[in-house]
Amino acid sequence: MLRIAGLPISGYLVLISAASSSWGPPAISQQAPSSLTQANAEIRRLRAENDSLRRVIDGLRRHTGLAADKNGATGSILDRLNSYEASPFPATKYTDRETYDYRKRSGTPVPTKRMAFVEDVCLIGRADIDATFKPQVATEPDVRAVLEVYQTKDWQEIRGLRPWTHAAFVRSLTASQRQQLTVEVLQVLHSGRIGNDCE
């Protein structure tokens, strides 16, 4: 059974449920405090409830690998690709950018960077993992196998619109972040937004 700080994950869910019933937002006394002492006591109570819920959420973040931004909010691993910057592309006398960037410069429509990754996963899944790969029935092992390609192959041997960037991105993630990315990619694949051709 999965545990966080010795407590089963189910226990955290119970804690969140219980906290939510008395939280969201915290119950504030309907009667105005009659003294400064009562007001301070109410503030301390609300802070304690807030701290308790934050500890539960932080535990879940550590378990799932979700990162928190500077404001404490969790974010999608997949969405990070829209702003992720890899190290400079290793230009040669024949090419100085990725296919995605050539198409964008020429005015050819391109997907968002987030969707370009999902489309490349689909392409690699069909071409390199399993010829019968279909996005709407893809499994976690299918996506993990594609991520393994990004981790182990030279970027020049990888298909897709952004092999240099995608390989760098996947390699920058922790194991738990790659697992979260796998789940998020599957959600998009199963949504039907890609189609069945992986093209």
Convert 45-100 into a string of H (helix), E (strand) and C (coil).
HHHHHHHHHHHHHHHHHHHHCCCECCCCCECCCHHHHHCCCCCCCCCCCCCCCCHH
Same domain membership, residue 112 and residue 59: no
pLDDT at 110: 93
| In a domain? residue 69 | no
Same domain membership, residue 56 and residue 21: yes
How many domains does one find in the chain? 2
| In a domain? residue 143 | yes
| In a domain? residue 199 | no
Containing structural domain, residue 35: 3-64
At 34, is the pLDDT very low, low, confident or very high (cuts 50, 70, 90)?
Answer: low
- What pTM was estimated for this model as a whole? 0.63
| In a domain? residue 133 | yes
Q: Does the pLDDT of residue 1 top 70, yes or no? A: no
Same domain membership, residue 46 and residue 87: no
Whose structure tokens read 């196998």? 145
Same domain membership, residue 93 and residue 54: no
Residue 189: exposure state from Cβ atoms within 10 A (0-12, 13-18, ≥19): buried
Q: Does the pLDDT of residue 10 top 50, yes or no? A: yes
pLDDT at 81: 96
For residues 118-127, average pLDDT: 95
Nearest one of 189, 73, 179, 95 to 133, comparing CA atoms:
189
For residues 90-113, average pLDDT: 94
Same domain membership, residue 146 and residue 171: yes
pLDDT tens sequence across 60-90 = 544 444 444 443 345 899 999 999 999 999 9
Highest mean pLDDT among 15-24, 67-76, 122-131: 122-131
Centroid of chain to Cα 54: 20
Same domain membership, residue 100 and residue 46: no
| In a domain? residue 116 | yes
pLDDT tens sequence across 45-60 = 777 776 666 665 555 5
| In a domain? residue 16 | yes
Last residue of a domain, one of 64, 88, 109: 64
Work out the percent of the chain whose per-residue pLDDT is above 90.
54
pLDDT tens sequence across 165-184 = 999 999 999 999 999 999 99
Same domain membership, residue 122 and residue 51: no
Same domain membership, residue 127 and residue 181: yes
Who wins on pLDDT, 142 or 42?
142
At 15, is the pLDDT very low, low, confident or very high (cuts 50, 70, 90)?
Answer: very low
| In a domain? residue 198 | no
Same domain membership, residue 109 and residue 56: no
Who wins on pLDDT, 137 or 63?
137
For residues 3-21, average pLDDT: 50
| In a domain? residue 112 | yes
Same domain membership, residue 60 and residue 125: no
Last residue of a domain, one of 64, 88, 115: 64
